[in-house]
Homo-oligomer: A and B are copies of this chain.
Amino acid sequence: MAFRPRFPAAFGQFARSGLALGRSAAVRQSLKTHAPCGVYSHQLRTLRQSSKCSVKYTSETYPELKRDERFSRISEEHVDYFKKVLGGGSAVIDGVTNDAAADDIAPFNGDWMRKYRGHCKLVLKPSSTEEVSKILKYCNENMLAVVPQGGNTGLVGGSVPVFDEIVINMSRMNKIRDFDDVSGILVADAGCILETTDHFLAERGYIFPLDLGAKGSCHIGGNVSTNAGGLRLLRYGSLHGNVLGVEAVLPDGTVVDDLCKLRKNNTGYDLKQLFIGGEGTIGIVTGISIQCPQRPKAVNVAFLGLDSYEKAQQAFRQAKSHLSEILSAFELMDEASQAIVHRVTQNKRPLESAYPFYCLVETSGSNADHDSEKLQAFLEDVMEKGVVADGTLAQDETQIRALWGWREGITEAVGHLGGVYKYDVSIPLKDMYRIVEDTKARVQEAGLMGDTDEHPVVDVVGYGHMGDANIHLNVATRYYDPRVEKVLEPFVYEWIAGRQGSISAEHGLGLAKKKYVGYSRSDNMVGLMKQIKQLYDPNGIMNPYKYI
């Protein structure tokens, strides 16, 4: 991707807040470590170094969860079968007959947030769809529960075992199967890492139509299974539209061979869609085919300061009108979130003054000059009309990364303060930010928020993908306190339900939101979902204790 310097002398009104290279490098450094991929490697190491680490077992955190005694305990005979199918070696990590394997199993038993921890004793790493089919068929016949696992970068505990479920880790199925450079249609194994896949596409002038912080670790099969949204859904749309085909294995070993390489195929029910966002509860995705767009030749990023949420909405409307087909991200950050990033990173802030809200606007297009002109027209318009109070424009790729750091760095910065209560929710745009204000007011009224240590809550912050009406509500605490949880739940979920929002915009249900699905779905819908689960997985062996 070529970045060209632009607007050398434009935007007199815009503050030149000087994103000097030294500071940008620091932000980049911070970016490198804050993303789930970085954190994940670190956690992996930590977990490996100390398998008896302090992370509580999920079964202790959620004492109401009981092991389903319909499931068999894993025996030596079971392990022998799997070794026969997978050829032993590193494809089977066996903690059933070999206690010394516990350390090797630990990373598959936990998540990068150190929030969930299972009792799994057997990890299987199939290398073909046929192997997955044999494993599942056997597990189904022998009532062995399984947890499909991709890059294990999720936020809701969906890919972590709770009890002694067998982990089926997809990392060995990591081959690009086919790519057509006229149509841009890619067919690949589920275990391909998102970033690696995107690099493959970049060399051919294409882009994977999904991007997210965990790209260095997450699997494309996991992305599909969780219907990942990410940073550029605004531009490229959802996986339900981009994924053309899915290959998946059902619990009874049936291969759903729906790996269509066509943009159009109206021959029957679109069953693959059930696996997109199915979170491994009805089968394991083993391969996908996906429509990849042309890689944009030019990317621009502007960072704006605004006086109110009303103005942020106006700016979004203007951005859609001016930038239309090249608008690739419109992110919202409140002052509280930026203050925390500043407090943790000590980086100089992009704008000279503080504003109640900030927006990061990104364009991606095929012609740098055209894109710059459009962005300039947008910026002139919003400045002239007083919609935007101040702003800065990245001059090169380093500055682009630096500006993104103020958005992407929030997750890590907030985590630095202590525990965080996180809610990833969709709310119709006009009400979207009000959930942050109402939650903050409620926490304050309860006397739980303050500058001193007797107050558990440091601040309530909001940020997210404004273009998708998807906000991340974060309650940053010094320490976890049951009083905080009581004030927050079910308040937050009820608030969302009252506005027909979604309690999980992009992170899925997993274990974390299983019991709250009723706030976003009617009884009818939950009933119909249970019917589908029952249809495909009558024994309930697929990713139990989670989802529906």
Asked if A127 is at the interface of the complex by the 8 Å CB criterion, the answer is: no
The closest CB in chain B to the CB of A181 belongs to B317
Q: Does A109 contact B (CB under 8 A)?
A: no
Is A507 in the interface zone, CB < 8 Å from B? yes
Q: Which of A271, A297, A535 has the most CB of B within 10 A?
A: A271
| A429: chain B residues within 8 A (beta carbon) | 180, 182-183
A250 to chain B, nearest CB (A): 8
A97 within 8 A of B: no
Type the 1/0 row for A187-228, where 1 means its CB is closer than 8 Å to any CB of B. Answer: 000000000000000000100000000000000000000110
**C-alpha gap A326/B529 in the complex (Å):** 39
Instruction: Note all chain B residues with C-beta closer than 8 A to A274.
Output: 269-271, 273-274
Q: Is the CB of A270 within 8 A of B374?
A: no
Q: Mark A494-523, 1 if CB is under 8 A from B, else 0.
A: 000000111111111100010001001110
Given A264-B426, A524-B255, verify A240-B273 contact (CB < 8 Å).
Answer: yes
Is A257 touching B294 in the complex (CB atoms < 8 A)?
A: no
Q: Tell me the bound Cα distance from A89 to B325 in angstroms.
A: 48
- Within A231-274, which residues are at the interface with B (CB < 8 Å)? 233, 237-238, 240-242, 254-258, 260-271, 273-274
Please indicate the chain B residues that have their CB under 8 angstroms from the CB of A426 in the complex: 262-265
Minimum CB distance partner of A320 in chain B: B294
Segment of A118-126, A165-173, A340-348, A365-373 engaged in the interface with chain B = A365-373
> In the complex, which residue of chain B has the Cβ closest to the Cβ of A426?
B262
A180, A256, A274 — most chain B CB neighbours (10 Å): A274
Partner of A428 from the list B180, B427, B502, B525 (CB cut-off 8 Å) is: B180
Q: Which residues of B contact A535 (CB under 8 A)?
A: 531, 535
| Residue contact A373 to B370, C-beta cutoff 8 Å | yes
- A470 touches B (CB below 8 Å): yes
A468 contacts B by Cβ under 8 Å: yes
Contacts of A365 in B (CB 8 A): 324-325
What residues make up the interface of A, taking CB atoms closer than 8 Å to B?
180-184, 205, 226-227, 229, 233, 237-238, 240-242, 254-258, 260-271, 273-274, 276-278, 282, 293-294, 296-297, 313, 316-317, 320-326, 365-367, 370, 373-374, 426-430, 465, 468-470, 500-509, 513, 517, 520-522, 524-526, 528-529, 531-533, 535, 547-548
